[in-house]
Amino acid sequence: MDTVEEHVDLGINKNGVAAIAVKVTAERILPVDVDNNLWRKSSVTVTRTIEIDLMRCEETRRLYERILDGKPL
């Protein structure tokens, strides 16, 4: 049995930096001894944070202002 979970958070601070945090967990359950109902579970979690400076150029600065004003993109 294999499962994968994903979780994404997005935030923007007052300095105009958007942070995207991505967390992915993959899990695998394999039979070790079916007769005795023994299973082995292994999992791995990977977390990445990506920062985007919205004040870097004029185009992203306008995008930041639209986000703050609540206008649709």
Q: Using CA atoms, how far apart are residues 23 and 16, in angstroms rounded to an integer? A: 23
The predicted-structure confidence for 41-53, as pLDDT tens digits, reads as follows 999 999 999 999 9
In the three-class reduction of DSSP (H, G, I as helix; E, B as strand; rest coil), residue 69 is classed as helix
The predicted-structure confidence for 9-52, as pLDDT tens digits, reads as follows 999 888 899 999 999 999 999 999 989 999 999 999 999 999 99
Q: Using CA atoms, how far apart are residues 65 and 54, in angstroms rounded to an integer? A: 9
| Pair of tokens at residue 61 | 């600065």
The domain spans of the chain are: 2-69
Residue 41 C-alpha from the chain's centroid? 23
